[in-house]
C-alpha cells in the first residue's frame, strides 16, 4: 500500500481550534472510507497547555457533533516539518509563526485552513479562547467542516 499522507493541524494553544479541526478531519476521512490512508495530529505554536485536554467548550462542541476526541496538547517541533505533508494554520499569525519555525527546505506544505473554505475562501478561523461563551467554537466547527470538505475534494480530484 502507498505511504500514508500526513496532516498536522496547528493553532496557538492546541486546546480550541486545532483539536476541533483534527476531530472534523478524522470524521471526514472515516466517512469517506479513506482513514487508513492518513496520519493525523494537532499541535500548538506555544507550550502553555502541553499535556492538557482541549478547552471544555471545544470538548462540548465536539460532543454535540458526535466527534470522538482523545488527544492531548503538544507543541510543534522541528521534526514535524519533515514528517508531515500538510501543516494547517488557522490564521495569519499561525502562518507567520510556522514560516519562522520551519527549517529551510523542509517537506511540509504550510497551508491556511480557511483557504479551502467552500463558501468564504481565505477567511481565517478566529481564536475563540477569550470569548465568553461557546458560539465562537461552533463557528470554528462550521468553518472546519467546510474547509476540510474543500481540502479533501481538492486531494481527491488531484488538484493537490
- Residues in contact with ligand 4NP by CB under 6 A are 11-17, 48, 127, 129
The yes-or-no answer on residue 11 being catalytic is yes
What is residue 75's DSSP assignment? B
Helix (H) or strand (E) holding 41: strand 38-44
The yes-or-no answer on residue 16 being catalytic is no
List Cβ neighbours of 34 (8 Å cut-off, separation of 6 or more): none
Report the residue number, 5 or 74, with the smaller CB distance to ligand 4NP: 74
Shortest approach of ligand 4NP to residue 91 CB, angstroms? 9
The yes-or-no answer on residue 147 being catalytic is no
Shortest approach of ligand 4NP to residue 130 CB, angstroms? 8
List Cβ neighbours of 21 (8 Å cut-off, separation of 6 or more): 9, 11, 42, 88, 90, 113, 125, 140, 144, 147, 148
Shortest approach of ligand 4NP to residue 157 CB, angstroms? 30
Q: Which of 57, 80, 127, 140 is catalytic?
A: 127
Active site positions, annotated: 11, 17, 127
Amino acid at each position: 500500500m502507498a505511504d500514508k499522507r500526513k496532516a498536522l493541524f496547528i493553532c496557538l494553544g492546541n486546546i480550541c481550534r486545532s483539536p476541533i479541526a483534527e476531530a472534523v478531519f478524522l470524521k471526514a476521512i472515516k466517512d469517506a472510507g479513506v482513514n487508513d490512508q492518513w496520519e493525523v495530529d494537532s499541535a500548538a505554536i506555544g507550550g502553555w497547555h502541553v499535556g492538557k485536554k482541549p478547552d471544555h467548550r471545544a470538548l462540548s462542541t465536539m460532543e454535540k457533533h458526535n466527534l470522538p476526541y482523545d488527544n492531548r496538547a503538544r507543541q510543534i517541533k522541528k521534526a514535524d516539518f519533515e514528517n508531515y505533508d500538510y501543516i494547517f494554520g488557522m490564521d495569519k499569525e499561525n502562518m507567520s509563526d510556522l514560516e519562522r519555525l520551519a527549517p529551510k527546505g523542509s517537506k511540509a506544505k504550510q497551508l491556511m485552513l480557511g483557504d479551502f473554505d467552500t463558501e468564504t475562501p481565505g477567511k481565517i478561523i478566529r481564536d475563540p479562547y477569550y470569548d465568553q461563551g461557546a458560539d465562537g467554537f461552533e463557528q470554528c466547527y462550521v468553518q472546519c467542516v467546510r474547509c476540510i470538505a474543500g481540502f479533501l475534494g481538492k486531494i481527491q480530484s488531484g488538484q493537490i
